[in-house]
Amino acid sequence: MTYAIEISDLKKRYEGGFEALKGIDLKVEKGDFFALLGPNGAGKSTTIGILCSLVNKSSGKVSIFGTDVDENFAKAKKYLGVVPQEFNFNVFETVFNVVVTQAGFYGISKVVAAERAEKYLKQLDLWDKRNDQSRMLSGGMKRRLMIARALIHEPEVLILDEPTAGVDIELRRSMWEFIKKLNEQGTTIILTTHYLEEAEQLCRNIAIINAGEIVENTSVKALLKTLNQETFILDLDVSVPDGWDLPEFNIVISKDATTIEVEVIKGQSINAIFKALDAISVNVVSMRNKSNRLEELFVKLIKG
């Protein structure tokens, strides 16, 4: 099977001796929506930097769609589109020129580049700003500009390094809708983010990296199944009576007694809570997870 990305025994030691990657192995399937998670300094950006040739690897093998980057870096690079964490375009260029110039670096003719620039700038709501200097854009617009620029050569793999950092909720949602559509059309997406709920909602597979090592690499579903305990918040139509409790569950009742937090351990049935509430004529209006499930696992894995 040809993977979109295949990394084996990848090591990186920076000048000064810091070992950022200690021989990681990673495979990303074609068409996947893949999350690479880890705390700051874990090695995420180094891994991505090596993939897109901004960081020199110390040793190991990296293949993109079966093309070894050491053997044919030019071909391998064509598969990749990169949206970095920091704004890295020429701020004095116009929005249109930023995108069209990038196309030129991929050997795309001006006519095709102009057509694609129009297509992607329109899709990302930047067409009206095409003649503005890019430094005049808002933070969210700059992020979208980097996405348009990364897509101009229509890559097979799109790498997004913290794409929603500092982006407001509405924009974040529209950005994810756009990325999801790209993924549905066949583009492999690799994402790093600190918003773990985003990774939980969007990604199919996940790798967690810590201190230069992959500590988990599985599907999001499989990972979530390993959770032993979840906390649910139940909003009730009326208050529960004073002193109400269920001994088999750990329950925290809010001050107005209309919201309860219930810890459910693996194997326990949440139906018992509904039955108990029904017995005292209290209805559940809504129910949600207290905290992000992935976040709990993440913290557990990182702490070892």
Q: Which lies closer to other proteins via its Cβ, residue 91 or residue 299? A: 91
Could you say whether residue 75 binds other proteins (CB under 8 A)? yes
Q: Which lies closer to other proteins via its Cβ, residue 5 or residue 262? A: 5
8 A C-beta contact, residue 187 and residue 158: yes
Could you say whether residue 86 binds other proteins (CB under 8 A)? yes
User: Tokens at residue 77, please?
Assistant: 């690079």
Could you say whether residue 179 binds other proteins (CB under 8 A)? no
Which range touches other proteins (CB under 8 A), out of 21-29, 44-52, 170-178, 230-238? 44-52
Could you say whether residue 22 binds other proteins (CB under 8 A)? no
- Any alpha helices (H) in the chain, and if so which ranges? 44-51, 73-79, 95-105, 110-123, 139-151, 169-184, 196-202, 220-225, 271-279, 293-303
Q: What is the 3-state secondary structure (H, E, C) of 87-143?
A: CCCCCCCEHHHHHHHHHHHCCCCHHHHHHHHHHHHHHCCCHHHCCCEHHHCCHHHHH
Could you say whether residue 74 binds other proteins (CB under 8 A)? yes
Which residues are paired to 27 by β-bridges?
6
Could you say whether residue 59 binds other proteins (CB under 8 A)? no
Q: Residue 265's closest CA among 296, 297, 230, 295? A: 230
Could you say whether residue 108 binds other proteins (CB under 8 A)? yes
CB count in 10 Å sphere of residue 6? 19
- For tokens 């503005």, the residue is 132
Mode of pairing for the β-strands spanning 213-219 and 205-210: antiparallel
Q: Which lies closer to other proteins via its Cβ, residue 88 or residue 219? A: 88
Residue of 84, 140, 163, 212 interacting with other proteins (CB under 8 A): 84
Could you say whether residue 163 binds other proteins (CB under 8 A)? no
Could you say whether residue 56 binds other proteins (CB under 8 A)? yes
The least CB distance from residue 158 to other proteins, in Å, is: 12
Q: How many residues line the site for other proteins (CB under 8 A)?
A: 34
| Interaction residues for other proteins, span 2-21 (CB under 8 A) | 14
| Interacting residues of 185 by C-beta distance below 8 A, sequence separation 6+ | none
Could you say whether residue 136 binds other proteins (CB under 8 A)? no
Could you say whether residue 49 binds other proteins (CB under 8 A)? yes
Could you say whether residue 293 binds other proteins (CB under 8 A)? no
Alpha-carbon span 264 to 272, nearest angstrom: 11
Residue of 66, 104, 139, 166 interacting with other proteins (CB under 8 A): 104
Q: Which lies closer to other proteins via its Cβ, residue 17 or residue 241? A: 17
- For tokens 């348009």, the residue is 148
Q: Which lies closer to other proteins via its Cβ, residue 67 or residue 205? A: 67
Sign of CA dihedral 186, 192, 193, 194: positive
Alpha-carbon span 260 to 262, nearest angstrom: 6
The least CB distance from residue 231 to other proteins, in Å, is: 41
Could you say whether residue 89 binds other proteins (CB under 8 A)? yes
Residue of 129, 149, 172, 293 interacting with other proteins (CB under 8 A): 149
- For tokens 């995420």, the residue is 44
- Using CB under 8 A as the criterion, which residues of the chain lie in contact with other proteins when the complex forms? 14, 46, 49, 52-56, 73-75, 77-78, 80, 82, 84, 86-93, 97, 101-102, 104-109, 149
